[in-house]
Amino acid sequence: MGKTFRRLVVVGLVALAWIWLQSHPIHLDPEELWTKVREALSPFTERLPVHAPIAPEPSVGNGGVVSSESHPPADGSGGPSGESEVRLSGATSLRLGLSADEASALLGSPTWRGASPQGEDWWVYEKGGRLYAVLAFRDGVLVDAFSTSPNWTLGKYRAGQKFPDDTVPQTIEVRLDAGAKAQFSQERLKEGIVLLPGGGRGELVRVYVDRFRENLVVAVRLSDVRHVLRARAFPVEFSYVGSLPPWLDEEVPPEAEEQSARTGERLMHRLINDFRADLGLRTLTWDAAVARVALGHSQDMATHHFFAHVSPTTGLDVAGRMKAAGIPFRVVGENLATGFADVLEAHVGLLNSEGHRKNLLGADFTRDGVGIVNPYVTVVFYRPL
């Protein structure tokens, strides 16, 4: 009885479909149909726009630069190799994809929390008054791990050691799910930012070096490729099937963008002081009034779409802005940056530029203030009268 009923249902549906087609004829050109199928199935390649990192009038020093080559060395040849986990001191290891609870079980609670420019949750760890690590979580999952600690090892890369490779790949291809892939160009070496393939699917390694100290590694970073693509910090060709993935252009809510800016200001101040301490200089004291001057200039640049030390809207440089704010000074300096993925990379870019490095290591400066209106970063250094 059951089989007979099912057969009657199928016959009825076929009859209804035949009747509908009689009144709604469909004319299909087989060649046209096959063309559309091929278009739907073939990957589409798009060169994503990149926020080129810039800083006004940088003077490039004579430090050695890691060179790039067109073809990466074969596996086992001793060339750059990626890893899928960060090894901490002892037997502890940290890998992408961990939940916030799992990461907390390994590292403990963060010193403080903030937000990244891409809208992720940043967990900031400090030890001994210095930056130790920054972890980024998206939807409660670890997508990025950055550390300046010599106790963190990423493959053969570790802060405090010389970069071990003479050459690095010129292009890095990373495959994602659903037939998508990203091919990045190695174009950030002069800024001390080396991009390498990770050991896991959809992972990238970034190694940050100080070119003025013979390519000394200052930080290591393991990232999910989606995290890097959202930042638009590297030239990339992105191939995908169908439509562009929605996660690529997710907008950051205004409240998260505001939190990200305040997080970046605090982190930049910490990075500057750690850098100065590493080179035997006294650290700088945060100055809230000067931070407001810096923030005002970043807001001016964002509102009026310019990038320069002298504002075309007011005609003032940093000295003029300090005087207008009623802040007396003996000496004052200013660093600007934009187009970097975040302040973690902006700091590396600035310390690898001779002119900006002089401000970072200025022995006459005793105070600083940072003001960020994404993507503009302004740092003001000064010594009061």
Q: Mind listing the pLDDT tens digit for each residue in 141-197?
A: 999 999 999 999 998 999 999 998 888 999 999 988 777 889 999 989 999 999 999
Residues forming CATH 3.40.33.10 domain(s) in the chain: 85-248, 254-384
Does the structure show a pLDDT above 90 at 129?
Answer: yes
Could you say which of 3.30.70.100, 1.10.8.60, 3.40.33.10, 1.10.10.60 is the CATH number of the domain covering 85-248? 3.40.33.10
Structure-token match 């739907």, residue found: 40
What phi, psi does 131 have (nearest 5°)? -70, 135
CA distances 66 to 164, 168, 192, 210, 275, Å, are 10, 7, 9, 11, 21
40-77 tens-digit pLDDT: 444 455 555 544 454 454 322 222 333 333 323 233 33
Cβ distance 159 to 213 under 8 Å? no
Torsion of CA 351, 134, 136, 208, to 10 degrees: 30
User: Which secondary-structure segment (H or E) carries 147?
Assistant: strand 141-147
Cβ-Cβ contacts under 8 Å for 137 (sequence gap 6 or more): 100, 103, 120, 121, 123, 143
Q: What pLDDT is stored for residue 231 in this prediction?
A: 87
Record: fold of 254-384: Pathogenesis-related Protein p14a (3.40.33)
- Say which range, 90-99, 142-151, 213-222, has the weakest mean pLDDT: 90-99
**Separation between Cα atoms, residue 337 and residue 350, nearest integer Å:** 8
